[in-house]
Structure 1
């Protein structure tokens, strides 16, 4: 499910990153209230059921809010009020977690600062019986110092979908390297159609995939910047080459998180999440193919960004045990609801391996291929990657991609910020 849609131009990756840095945003009073999944049942004393608040950002797909309310209403051991937040969810959540007016349960992406600031509680106890049913990557993105702090709700792979007929007509094979991608984008560009759409910002969403395709990563295992090398510089330089080729769509009516550019025939290829697949299939039928982000060269490797959302329990909740019980009920015990959430409002890979294996909608065609590519080439976020690091990384990409700045010089500036942040976090 795209992480936006109050505003079609909102960059999904930016929201994901901002949501990860909750401890870094200054506190202010968060508003409460919201939509109630079931009638209020009163306070926690005298044997009465406790009331829990559960916060979501506003999903774009029709039916998602109603589904969240349905799940909350079905729970009988506590009252669960669903807070559905359009707009700047990240800032509201950050302020809520820094105050005493925040949610009991919330969705986000784990950031090391959240753990160090004691904003989230470990959930190893409720995961114990099913831990092996989650992929190592989905566990790793929510793990700090051996403890798991969140339960993955959905997996959102980001890939390149393309129009088979347009590539066939131009005599172009699906790209396998970044040079192939640049050549294909040029060859597919006409006076009416651009070769590719990677976002109205020119392709910042491709920064991490390009780095992965070079064989690198944003952070090393010994807590250093992992992109300060010649191969990373080469990969980022290729993103500028793609941008400067005049084959990239800019100024689209909706941003890359929305399938409109590909559906409307504005482009032949588009970087986008699997959440858009039902709409793409409905509009394009069998004229749809998928590839991962191409490898940099023969020494590189194709890449898929395996994003998603995770459920957490607020450490400041007055009802931590009750909140954990609800999270276990919904995201571990209620497999029917988990499958509904992942497959009936856009397409997403269920984090539970057992559910993904039997999900009929993901067993054939482009959906099955996207799942396969994610399993083979997927990358998740490192909890140590903070919003400040991400801002420096995106500033670097902006200067390289759009302005044509020297990659080595821009990398050096971003590297300093990242290493300073790592020193702060790890000492």
Structure 2
């Protein structure tokens, strides 16, 4: 996920999907949807993007669109905290976009909302990160083209760790100890985001578990995850966690402004961290939770989807193919000129000079070694159920075993609906 200009995280993204009918009462994004057209092609396409936090991103997307000759492409650049609700609301109206960025989500496929893009991806399929292909595939068909991969990990001030005599933590226990040693009257040891949601999946993976297994069965209800929840509770009550930062985890300001010594964030913010902190900056994965676990890096990111219920499906597919498959220069520009993201195309990732040395190269290495990708079957209801586990156990001190059992009921009900 790219840094955003408003306070919401990717896990809030599907909330609107739960109540599409209710969302239908919301206004679509403005009256002028740009369907007037002037290129003389007679084809007019509208695309939706959330407002990225990095300067220059809006101008770049509009510049690429302007270079396309076969249709007039208008961009709705949606600011504020309600990109997902505006998107879902508009998808129910005749003002719906022809294409939009989002995350792989099986409900969009099952409801017939997104078009099958296998035919345009197949010829270059081998040049994509295969984990990205897998996370967009249902029953052998590929829905959505990945635009950027966004690894998330911990950034830390080297000088503060050195001063406290601390090595970068390799276990969750060590991270808890480090947070305590690094906390002063002015600086908190650690920032995981204001609602902690960003670290739920990394904690599950680092405990040697997963959200779902290959057979789409529950894989998170393990002794290691129970242990992790108890450790997270200890951290939450320690007083060493920054819990009320002015901006959430995706924004680099908590570490940059000296509010904490270690911050969970994404590679997209690396240039901003480097600009402020220079060489006094290190990165590390989410550390292992148990002896049986291993470090993990969540790979977020954004993908382009075609609205299968739109009036211009073929024209939209043509534009997606032109921009996100044929135009490698634009793809590299989008991935590396504003924040740092990893291009999902192997050939572009290998030639992206900005990612070849120093801290960006370390980020790529962590992504390659420890990366975990979206599971297309892990739905918003399931995400919310694990958020409730964190609320029950980490924030309120409830029993992890009981909270996970409650979570299982919700997840199993969802799995039954989706997979029978």
Range class of TM-score, shorter chain: over 0.9
Contact kept? 2:180, 2:240, Cα under 8 Å = yes
- TM-score, normalization by structure 1: 0.93
* Unaligned runs of at least 5 residues, structure 2: none
8 Å contact kept, 1:36–1:81: yes
Deviation at 1:415, TM superposition (A): 1.0
Shift of residue 227, structure 1, vs aligned partner? 1.4
- Does structure 2 conserve the Cα–Cα contact (< 8 Å) formed by 1:134 and 1:352? yes
Deviation at 1:99, TM superposition (A): 3.2
Q: Is the 8 A contact 2:188 2:240 kept in 1?
A: yes
Gaps of 5+ in 1: 43-47
8 Å CA contact retained: 1:36, 1:69: no
Using a 3 Å threshold, how does the CA distance of structure 1 residues 325 and 301 change in structure 2: closer, same or farther? same
| Structure 1 residue 340, shift from structure 2 partner | 1.1
Asked if residue 309 in structure 1 is aligned to residue 302 in structure 2, the reply is yes
Please report how far the alpha carbon of residue 34 of structure 1 lies from its aligned counterpart in structure 2 after TM superposition: 5.2
Closer, same or farther: CA 37–192 of 1 in aligned 2, 3 Å: farther
Q: 1:25 to 1:115 in 2, by over 3 A?
A: farther
TM-score by length of 2: 0.95
Q: 2:119 aligns with which of 119, 125, 131?
A: 125
User: Which secondary structure state, in structure 2, belongs to the residue aligned with residue 129 of structure 1?
Assistant: helix
- Are 1:299 and 2:296 counterparts? no
Contact residue 189 and residue 195 of structure 1 kept, 8 A: yes
Answering whether residue 162 of structure 2 is matched by residue 168 of structure 1, we say yes
Shift of 1:31: 3.7
Cα RMSD (Å): 1.9
Mapped partners of 2:418, 2:137: distance in 1? 15
Secondary structure in 2 matching 1:268: strand
- Shift of residue 117 of structure 1? 0.6
Distance (whole Å) between structure 2 residues aligned to residue 337 and residue 73 of structure 1: 12
> Using the alignment, how far apart are the partners of 2:217 and 2:39 within structure 1?
50
| 2:156–2:281 Cα contact (<8 Å) kept | yes
Structure 2 Cα separation of the partners of residues 372 and 220 of structure 1: 25
**1:18-33 superposed matches below 5 A:** 18=15, 26-28=23-25, 30-31=28-29, 33=31
Q: Is residue 23–residue 113 contact of structure 1 (8 Å, CA) maintained in 2?
A: no
> Which of 132, 136, 142 is the equivalent residue of 1:148?
142
Q: Name 1:345's counterpart in structure 2.
A: 338
Sort the Cα spacing of 1:37 and 1:368 in 2 relative to 1 into closer, same or farther, 3 A. Answer: farther
Which residue in 1 is equivalent to 2:197?
Answer: 204
Q: Which moved more, 1:219-228 or 1:287-296?
A: 219-228
Runs of 4+ in 1 over 6 A off after TM superposition: 19-25
1:126-167 deviation per Cα after TM superposition (whole angstroms, max 9, x unaligned) = 112211111111111111111110100111111001011111
What's the CA shift for 1:182? 0.6
The alignment partner of 1:130 has SS state of: helix
**1:271 equivalent in alignment to 2:264:** yes
Cα 1:34–1:369, aligned 2, differ >3 Å: closer, same or farther? farther
**Partner residue, 1:84:** 77
Question: Any conservation in 2 of the 1:37–1:71 contact (CA below 8 Å)?
Answer: no
Distance in 1 (alpha carbons) for counterparts of 2:36 and 2:266: 32
What is the aligned partner in structure 2 of residue 112 from structure 1?
A: 106
3-state SS, counterpart of residue 146 of structure 2: strand
> SS of the counterpart of 1:128?
helix
| 2:4 and 2:251 in contact (8 A); partners too | no
Query: Aligned-pair distance for 1:26?
Result: 4.5
Alignment partners' CA distance in 2, 1:381 and 1:22: 22
**Whole-Å Cα distance in 2 between the matches of residues 356 and 13 of structure 1?**
24
Give, in whole Å, the separation in 2 of the partners of 1:13 and 1:236. Answer: 22
Choose from 170, 174, 187 the match for 1:180: 174
- Match for residue 158 of structure 1? 152
Aligned to 1:51: 44
Q: Does 1:415 align with 2:412?
A: no
